Structure 1
Amino acid sequence: MQDAGEASTPMADPFPSLGEPVSAAPAPSQARREARPDVSSEDAFPTLGASSARGMRAAPTAWVSPVPVIQRVVHQATVSLRLSDEQLAKLNTVLPRVQAKCPTVKLEASTTRKTGYTTFIFKGANEAAVQLAKKELTVQLARRVTGTVLVPASLRAHVIGAGGKNIKRITEQTGVRIHVPPRSGDAAAEEADDPLLGEQMEITIEGDEVHVQEAQALIQAIVAERTSKLSQSLAHIEPEYYPFLAGVRGARVEALAANEGRGEVTIKVPPPHHRHAPILVHGERASVGAVVDAIESQVRDMRASFHTLSLTIPKRQHVCLVGDGAADILAATQCSVELPPVHDASESVTIRGPQAQLPLALTAALERANAITVKVVDVGALHAGADAQHARYLVQWLGGRAPRAEGVQVFMPTATALDAGRAHVDVVGKDAEAVARVHRELEELVRPLDPSALRVADLDPLAHDLVAGKRGQNLKAYEARGVDVLVPPEHSGRSDVLLVHRGAAAERAAVLEAVLQELAAAAAPAADLQTAHVSIPAKHHAALLDRTVLNALMGEDRIQVTAGRHGPVPAGVDARTNDSVVVRGAPAAVERVVARLQQMAADAEQDSMESSFVDELRVPGAYVPRLIGRGGAAVAKLRDELGVRVDFPDADDKARAKQVPIVLTGRKACVTEAKARLAAQVQRLADETTVRLRVPSEMHGALIGPGGKYVSRLQDKYGVRIVFPRGDEAQAGDEVSVRGGKRGVAEAQAELLELLAYEQERSQAEELAVPQRAVARILGRSGATINQLRLESGAEIDVEREAGAGEQAVLRLRGSRAAIEAARAAILDLVAAVEREAELQLDIPSRFHAQLIGQGGQHLRDLIVRAGGPSEPRAQAQMVRFARDRSDAVTVRAEQGVAQRIAELLQSEARALAERVVHGAVVPPRLHGQLVARGGRRNSPWQQEHGVQIVLPNWREYAELEAPANATDLVDADPAHIVKVLGGRESVPQVLQAIDALVAADAQRRRPRAPRAARVDDADDDE
């Protein structure tokens, strides 16, 4: 019995399903406050002689008001294992062990005798706990196996992931061991155009059979994701059409990707400064093909309809015709503006587009070009008496000192212009006043610097760091004195150091002379440097004078090494040639570097002589493409493995019909090996044959296998090449070619046909129409029934969702003929059972629903059995459904006769519940325990005999019952003593009499015998 102060447990669901038992969730434990016991409490210290029922928590009853049900997320995992008799015997110990380790996970197991598989279902609120329970079970029961999965070698890096990320994730998730073979030496062969048809590698997986299969599926998913993608380069499209393909600010290429590409591709059109690069299209295979076709179609139309117009615009005004300027012209006129490169002095501008739009584009280009102001500072003209070198020096000095203004750009002349004697500095901007101001400031900077303001000091390049000082401190000191010292860039080899005096002309000569002397003094430590001029064949310069090689040779010494005809020629050094190598630095270091360079050159020459052995092999011209390999892969393999150069003759249709020479160059032993390999390959090609098989296109995927597994195994096993048709080839859609040696082709053909027959037998398909109302029965709760059908029949069963709105639903069955027939028979049995069913709608007041269901649904189950229905909970599920919205609707669904009897029993009991009455009886609290069943259960002793229920004052249902019909007789009674009696009109009076007799007997038993002549007063029962 439950105390009034104890919190009662809310019902989890007022209308539970009959498919599984329902239990209320336990109430959380609460800390109780310590208090002194009340010795006067009859409940705490009952009178001896009366049984005291032990308090217990209240179970859900008819008077519990329903509370909102919180739907919790339930994670589920399923494992099916074929267990041996020994393993089945272990289940009794394994399952409790797993349940103890994962107490929050519900574990169910069922065995199908027909298939021999045991299915384990894991359910829990925490996905990690569900997966842990699954792993614990499979580790203890599943067989240890070693599985393999074939993946394209070109996808090796993607399978492993960055830093092994993918393999680590799969290993942690499944607990298996994964071995990925090392990369093969044939890197070029791995980079096949189509990964599925390229070289394959075998990944080994060790662990229990369930997680090995899971790891295989995860790896195949990575492969499937990668092989569904394709990248294509469109190098044959002229860059002149790039602006039209990209559209205004990329709008056209975005529309192309969204429409023809269906959002599955990425299109990269090179920007104007990278026009030499090709257009790249990457994405899903089918979408890439559609986008490429659309681009090529647009280019063909443009080639046929576009014209050009040329005009001359000053070079510095070209800046207005790039970026937003070019985009605006393209948007307004559908024409592009093509400009020469920045380093090109040409001022020619080409406009390209439709003939009718060219005049509009010309007008727009001129308006934009004339919208800016260009002023030119002619440095040479400001000092007409000076030579061209003076102007060059001034331009060099101006490079980092030109004035700046917002919206104004200053362009220095290019080296080409300086060589031509045009030392023009251009000032460009939209604001004419700002341009004029910057132009004026430039002239003011240059005009005072006549030839007397400049000096050139010839200092050894190795002494430049000594002149500049640490972090340029010496140069800053010279600037403070009005002299700018310009040191040539490092590694340029130039010895000219430019001095520019910015001060007064009167002191110019003295200041410059003093600075020159200081520079010479700073460079004095480099005076003892030595220069060596050696001759090393130019063919070895690239290898010997590589920056990393030079760093290794020079070490910490400051040494300058230059090669070739061009470069500084120190005094006393012979004129340079193409083979010249000039080394300058400290004498000991120069001697050491020269010796090492000469030794390395001698070694390289010796190696070149040894590697110059030449041999020739004549082969049929038709075999040349096969000997070269896809993308030159075969030749690259010979070069990488043997260091042999292989030269093939130029492709010629006539040469294919005759013998052609192949020239091999390298070390003799390597050339001999390469020739033997090529000869062996030619012999294999001579024995080669090609067989074409007719295979329905819908069967290609089954023959290829997941990730190319089946076709790769056949190719490796028989040494053949199996080619399936692709959309971009002339091969027929249902034609599969097998190429290789005659014996290998024959064996591969036989196995392919056998596999085709097997897959065709397994790929039988049939559609079955069933009534729409039978679909729910076929699917079962959470798909349990249809999964069982699939497992028992071996057929795939799918429900066509599109047909769900009509009276008929369509089921698609796939598998072998026997499996389809078994599934069809089982489904028709279920349909027949549904057809025999009747669905009755009853109107029963919702206040009676809980009593009709009973605690945990037991009363309703008993009622179904009494009506002739099944006794199994799974079969009883969904036979009777009570509305969950507090309405009075009740649905009965079962076979015709059973449904009718269930409805009659429900209505009969509902009428009985409606005719109940409530009376009160005065019973002292010490006797309350005797009114309920032994152990505190709420069924009274009169429940079975009279159908009468006793409700005690401290029960929650007490307050929910109406007032007793005899309330006027209970006015003077203590409310804690009033017990409510609920039942039929005829039965309640009988129970009331029995209760009164029980109370009277207790009172008589408690009355003590009084001595003679003594007066006895009745004590208050409460004392």
Structure 2
Amino acid sequence: YWNTKYLQIYTKTNMSTMTDFVSDSVNSFTLDNNIDDNGNQENTHPIYTETKIVMDYSTDFPSLPLNVVSGSTKGSGISLKPAVKCSTVTRRITLTASERAGRLYEGERDMDCAEESKTCKKIASLTNTLIELSEARDGSLCIMVTGKGPNVDDAQARLIRELQTQITLSIKIPKEHFGAIIGVKGATLKKLEADYFCRVIIPKEDDGSIKIIGPKIHASKCCDKILEISKERSKTTSEDLEIPRKFYPWIRGPFNENVERWINSGNVKVNIPPVNVNSEVINVNGDREDVMRVVGEIKRIYSEKLEKVRTLSTKVPISQRRFIVGNRGSGIQEILKATDCAVEIPVDDCDNGTVILHGDQERIVDALSMVYARAASILCKEIPCPQWMHRYLIGSKGTHLQQLFPDKVALKIEFNDNGTVYIEAPQQEFQTSLATLEVEINRINSEMDHQIISIPAEFHRHIVGKGGANITKLRDDYGVSIVMPPEETNSLDVIIDGKKENVKKCLQHIKDLISRMENEKTRDIIIEHRFHRKIIGPKGESINKIRQQFPSVNLFFPDANDNDCDIIQIRGNKTEVDKVYTYLTKLNKEFIESSYQETAPIFKEFLKRIIGKGGVTINKIREETSTQIDLPLDSSPTGKVVVTGKKENVKKAIEMLTKIQEELANIVSIDVPIPPKAQRRFLFNGRRLLTDIENECGNVFFNIKEKSNKIVVRGPKVPVENAEKLVKDLLKTLNEQTEEVTIEADASYHKFLIGKQGSNLQALREKYPTVRILFPEEKAENANNINLIGKNDEVAAVKKILEARIEELRETVELTVDVPLEHQKHFLIKGSEVLKEIQSQNGNVQIFFPKINSNSTLVTIKGSEVCAQSAKNRILEIVDDLKAQVTIEVIIPNRYLRNILGSYKNAYNDILKECNVVIKLPDRRLAEEYNASGVCLGDIITISGRPENCEKAKAALLGLVPVTREIVVSREFHSALIGRGGKDIRNLQQLYNVGVQIPNESDNSDVIKVVGLSDKVEECIADIKSRVEELEKIAADNILKSFKLTVTIPIEYHQKLIGRKGVVVAGLRNKYDVQITFPKDEDKSEDIIIQGYEKNCNECKENMLSQVSQWESMITRCVKLDPRYHPRLIGTGGRNLRKLNEDFGVDIRLPAKNAEDPSLVVIAGYTEDDILNCIEHLKIEEEDYIDLLIERGQYTIERNVAPVQVQVKRSVEITGAPWQVNSHEQFPSIGTNLPITTLPINSVWGSRLHK
């Protein structure tokens, strides 16, 4: 086969050389995908041929013309061409009056010029050029064409064809020369037409004249060029010689010597047909003399060999043929050169291994000896080796193979995809190498294993894990190779390679994992983010209860800071996931129902008594009513108690709070009836009217019940009476003709309209009692709107007064205030922060401080009179504070400053505002410097302000210094306090804003440190203590649960106790709250371990033994069934087996995988009849199924053999190039007396530049 292929390549073309298909490298390990079922290699490799093109530098790369200066070899720098040629060119075309296409007469001249202009415009647009026309008095036409070079050439050709006078010439040349004029694919003809601006018409077969149409001068030049081509063509000839193919080797000569000699000695080409061409005609073409000389020499060789050549046939094994052919056919060529005999390997002989020799009778025996010697020099063989073993044989980068066969240069090993290894070696090394390879294959086969497991595609990502974590762990734990199928193949097969015992364990682990995942699913539920903390519960109590109730289920909550995400993911056992989903849906419904909110009318002075000592009273109400009661902060402006929960529970809690308040004080409740229209007015704008009355009376609360026409007023007796009177007066006003008006005024004016302590507002109410003036809250949406409600005439009067005051506030006046120079800086530091605050609080007045270095103390204020005066008073107040200002020092260790400015930043800012002081923190660079008293300068904080404010700020700052408390917690509880990934400890720190330091295991310490503010630290320690108490209870419970009991049950009943997919054992575990551990298959033990509470373990043991005794009372019979029938007996998911058990009331037990008799099936039942009926049914089904298998046929699919592809490689050789150093003129030798020749200016190296 190899000889045939290489001979076919060799004879393909006279310039072809064979590509080396056989690598000589020791480390060449090739994978051959083209092996048929019989072990024969298919010919699907492409055939490579290489063609060599010889080019002459002087003719194929002619020199560009240069400006030659006579009598001098020096070139002028001015005449040199620029290094970069301009891409835009301009060309001039001149047409005389006689050359113009149309004869122009005086009357027609203008009209014809217009036609020429149109033609030029059309050509300019087609060629993307700029064309300008100019006509002289003598009728000549000058055309300037500007554009890119190729475009200008195209435009010039079009212009000459359209505007210049055309003539037609005819010439006759032999028809056999037409091909040279047309050229390859018409290239020569196109070039002629482009160069001479003519159309060349080649005649048909019946006419021998060629017509040339174009301008006179160009047509004549084109005619001369065609005649020149014809003349050159007449000097060449072509000869065909019909010679039998077997003589081609001698015509070519050894290694193609004759053909190369003929081509190099003259202008001739010899074309010998290749093997795949069904022709025996040799073509010789070129110069007449050279052709005749080569033809004569070929005929001489043919006549000589025709008399002497004899033929001899011999047989060589097909596998050894390629050794005869050699690398690129060198073997055949060497035999030809040494013995003058040709070796032929027929292409159509692929079975009997015939090799044919042609040559002289005297030398043919020598050639035969060389053929046998080359064929027997190397031996080869294919040995079976599964493909998965290949990588173990090769090793990393071939290292293992190199260790097996060191210094084996001539050895070649190929690994094939058909499960074989091909070995090739010299005769003396072959047997040793073959034995080494077979021993290594047997070793790998005994130690290693290869398994393929089919896994559903949806589980692949779980096996791989995030970033390949799971599959990497499997590989590391079991020391095996796991190959997942590529996604694009849609394959389900996962390949596991490694040591046998490791592969077995890994396979079982993956099967268990798949079995568990098949019974799992994921489900999402949407619950508002505000309810997530309730689902988790305090310290995770609620979520832990869910996990204990449904142990196989995991809940995944979104990040606590992601308030926009409401999705909770549930993952686990299918049944339990659905149960948890239902439970959470019900829980969510309860949360929504219990999110009703209402404000309780509790007065601030009674809050402490309602809360009770240590929160006993308020906590009792929370527990009894299952509500959330939020108490107001001390800084809260409203001071209202908010109760949240189910509507009925909220009502109950408010009644309990109100009852306690009534018992503590003389609280009365009065109902005021109101009409429905008035009710809407009271509830309008967020109860703003009622809120205004509450603020005016103080210590009263209004409540309007749903579907009621009454307002309930609660509070002490006197305020309630006042509120009742105001409500009745308002109702009386509302019953009359009332009006509601809105006035817009800048929010900064409101305090001036209200007056000091509400004096202005009170005066208006006394004068106009029916009018309620409602100012908006600071953070209200319409902060500039003032609402007026009352009688029409009074509302109009109040509106007029307020609008007049607003106008007064808008009028500008100018005031001055005296501010000492030393205090002016206080107003302007920190971006004029103090100054801007004064302006925003006083109607945005304009305040102008004097320029720096002006020594002026007058500050100018511009704005409304009231606002300007208020700003002046505020400035004087600040100046007075600055005059009374003192500075004190407080020592706080520098390490705590980060906490004060970080964790407690809000508290620090509150100190600045409430105490009205300036706090200066120490410079970081002073951390290692000390004063005379030995105090670190980096620990000294200065506080400036009034003496009483400084002392207050100092106490507040010292309160921000964190303290450290210690609590002793047993080391066994530390990990539980930390939580998974430190989650629990982080939540604890965030909840109390403290730092909790838990010692490392290596420290052997039980002391936990809590760092933070004093009150928060105490709360955190109390929380830790409560958690530890719970953990101690859990630990004590775990000790009780650690009781173990061993029960001995025969192995054959273990699977029944486990049940299908573990249903039976799971039921026992859930019923008795125990852990049941069965022995592994390889242990062959009968002991089952039960762990849990002692009582539960004993009850579970009795249950299991009772079931076993019931099974042992059953009658058993054995029957042999063909193992091929077992899958059909089991059915999909065991469906058929379960149905048979139910129909016949029996228990069918199939043999294990490693059973000694795989056909033995055990059938157990309570009656003999049931067992016999079942056996009879199984035998009938088995017989039918085996008959069906016999009837089925096996078919094979024919392999399609790809056709041989021929690919041509071309190489180029250039001769006579300037970089070839064989020119004595260009590269003279040093020290030789060669004549010095002056290089002409047009040398290929160009002229030398002298600057």
TM-score clears 0.5: no
When the two structures are superposed, what TM-score results if normalisation uses the length of structure 2? 0.24
With CA pairs under 8 Å and 6+ residues apart, which has the higher RCO, 1 or 2? 1
Structure with the greater alpha carbon radius of gyration: 2
